[in-house]
């Protein structure tokens, strides 16, 4: 990714990242930062990051040859590499900084850049709902302020710093989501972002491979409360007992949201409108705001309450809160309701999956089912569950059966565990299938579905089940035009 910051000198960034200049002129003007050598622009400094598949150090020469003004590399690589001894002026004159760890240096630079700006920063974490809540918050804040937000899910130790480095003088608000899959990451992200408002949406069975259990998730998520500055505000889900118990260990004033009456921001007069969304009153102190939320599911209602709480912390007007929430139309792959041909309703929840979010999705389907319609569920593998993997997939099958599903098809390495869980919970074997490919899943669903059916498709990101959604849409389109 490339991020631009106007123009600063190479010497200016050495201090914040604790680096040493080993080549080039210190007064060299830098106009941006790039981590992808294929996208480098003239004036950029190329940041050599080590990833799972590629090592950016292997592309330093390419980046400089394409016009990068300089590079940040790790000292060990520089000491053992002489590839920059090149007669080309572009490479010979390059500004090179050596650091111990380029990932840490990137975060340090972003933290320095954030503190050079006076924008208010919101940081959002949770086992589910981060991106949706981020978009809701940004939708409210942008009505009265110049607002920056993560692109997509740039929420990790690379994506968040790159987002922060897009900060410009005109920005008044920044909305960031923070993801993690191991202890210490939320602490580091909080250190970088230095949020004015920190939000924890929930804790659930996600990333158990690195966190062991829900208590481990709660401990990791509440690193935000532990690390956030004393003058910042903390917003948390007051209905989440595990989260509240862990958060009580930190003597910080907390603003709570949820459906229970004790919460500071809560919903009353809730009317579930099925596929059309939810109508409710957002209540805060002695005020209530009637809101028509255009997306279905009680989980989205809670996301909206969290967004409203954040906006109130930042003194957004009541009018902007209502307008921002009512203007939210949902996100692709996140419980997105689609009408297929032949009276079939498809719920696209393919962006990600874990045991907690699966339970939420199955519960949310209740308001979408018509009296005569059948429920069909297609699930893909759930990743990063560690020792809980087998048990979690069996439980997934049991949950699908318990939701009253007519037909169930599973895909992935643990599809047999999902099938076994569903059959053990009472689903007939002939109504439970296993497929190896996206095309097979599309074919199974096409053969099974009929008018009035409701189909849920859900799986972890790596399963790419959006291909199944597109396959069903294409099949529906062909049917409609023939």
Q: What is the pLDDT of residues 42-88, one digit of tens each?
A: 889 999 999 888 899 999 989 998 989 999 999 888 777 655 566 55
Please give the Cα distance from 133 to 303 (Å, whole number).
5
Residue-range domains of the chain with CATH = 2-102 (3.40.1390.10), 117-326 (3.40.1190.10), 336-481 (3.90.190.20)
Rounded to whole angstroms, the Cα distance separating 110 from 320 reads 30
Residues of the chain with pLDDT > 90, as a percent, come to 74
Helix (H) or strand (E) holding 210: helix 208-211
247-294 pLDDT, tens digit per residue, is 999 989 899 999 999 999 999 999 999 889 999 999 999 999 999 999
Phi, psi of 268 (to 5 degrees): -130, 170
Strand partners, 458: 349, 379
**Predicted structure pTM score:** 0.91
What pLDDT score does 26 carry?
85
Pairing state of beta strands 407-411 and 233-237? Answer: unpaired
Take residue 130 and report the two structure tokens written for it: 């981060």
| Helix, coil or strand: residue 164 | helix
pLDDT confidence bin for 478, thresholds 50/70/90: very low
pLDDT in tens, 360-387: 999 999 888 876 789 999 999 999 888 8
Instruction: Name the nearest CA neighbour of 41 among 5, 16, 77, 78.
Output: 5
Q: State the helix-helix crossing angle for 298-313 and 355-364, rounded to 10 degrees.
A: 110
Contacts of 52 (CB under 8 A, 6+ apart): none
Q: Which is nearest to 293 in space by CA: 307, 304, 308?
A: 304
Please tell me what DSSP assigns to residue 374: P
In the structure, what pLDDT confidence band is assigned to residue 477 with cuts at 50, 70 and 90? very low
Whether 63 contacts 36, CB under 8 Å: no
């Amino acid at each position: 990714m490339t991020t631009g910051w106007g123009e600063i000198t190479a010497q200016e960034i050495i201090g914040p990242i604790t680096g040493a200049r080993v080549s080039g002129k210190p007064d060299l003007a830098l106009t941006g930062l790039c981590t992808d050598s294929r996208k480098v622009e003239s004036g950029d400094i190329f940041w050599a990051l080590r990833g799972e598949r590629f090592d950016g150090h292997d592309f330093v020469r390419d980046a400089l040859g394409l016009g990068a003004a300089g590079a940040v590399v790790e000292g060990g690589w520089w000491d053992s590499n002489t590839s920059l001894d090149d007669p080309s002026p572009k490479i010979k004159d390059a500004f090179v900084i050596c650091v111990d760890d380029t990932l840490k240096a990137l975060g340090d630079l972003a933290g320095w850049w954030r503190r050079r700006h006076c924008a208010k920063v919101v940081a959002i974490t949770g086992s589910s709902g981060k991106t949706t809540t981020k978009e809701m918050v940004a939708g409210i804040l942008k009505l009265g302020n110049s607002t920056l937000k993560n692109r997509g899910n740039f929420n990790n130790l690379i994506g968040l710093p790159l987002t922060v480095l897009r900060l410009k003088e005109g920005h008044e608000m920044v909305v960031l989501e923070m993801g993690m899959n191991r202890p210490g990451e939320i602490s580091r992200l909080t250190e970088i972002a230095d949020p004015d408002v920190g939000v924890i949406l929930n804790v659930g069975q996600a990333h158990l491979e690195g966190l062991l259990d829900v208590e481990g998730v709660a401990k990791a998520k509440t690193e935000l409360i532990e690390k956030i500055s004393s003058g910042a505000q903390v917003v948390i889900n007051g209905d989440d007992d595990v989260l509240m118990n862990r958060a009580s260990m930190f003597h910080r004033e907390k603003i709570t949201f949820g459906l229970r009456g004790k919460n500071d921001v809560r919903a009353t007069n809730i009317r579930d409108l099925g596929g059309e969304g939810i109508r409710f009153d957002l209540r805060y102190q002695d005020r209530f705001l009637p809101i028509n939320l255009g997306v279905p599911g009680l989980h989205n209602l809670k996301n909206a309450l969290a967004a409203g709480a954040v906006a109130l912390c930042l003194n957004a007007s009541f009018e902007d809160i209502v307008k921002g929430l009512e203007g939210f139309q949902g996100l692709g792959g996140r419980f997105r309701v689609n009408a297929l041909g032949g009276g079939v309703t498809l719920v696209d929840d393919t962006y990600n999956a874990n045991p907690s979010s699966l339970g939420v999705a199955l519960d949310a389907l209740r308001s979408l089912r018509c009296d005569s319609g059948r429920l069909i569920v297609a699930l893909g593998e759930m990743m990063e569950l560690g020792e809980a993997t087998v048990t979690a997939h069996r439980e997934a099958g049991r949950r699908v059966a318990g939701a009253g599903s007519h037909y169930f098809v599973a895909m992935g390495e643990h599809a047999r565990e999902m099938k076994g869980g569903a059959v053990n919970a009472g689903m007939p074997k002939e109504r439970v299938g296993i497929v190896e490919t996206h095309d097979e899943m599309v074919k199974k669903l096409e053969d099974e579905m009929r008018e009035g059916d409701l189909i849920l498709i859900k799986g972890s990101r790596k399963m790419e089940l959006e291909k199944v959604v597109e396959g069903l849409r294409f099949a529906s389109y062909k049917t409609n035009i023939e």
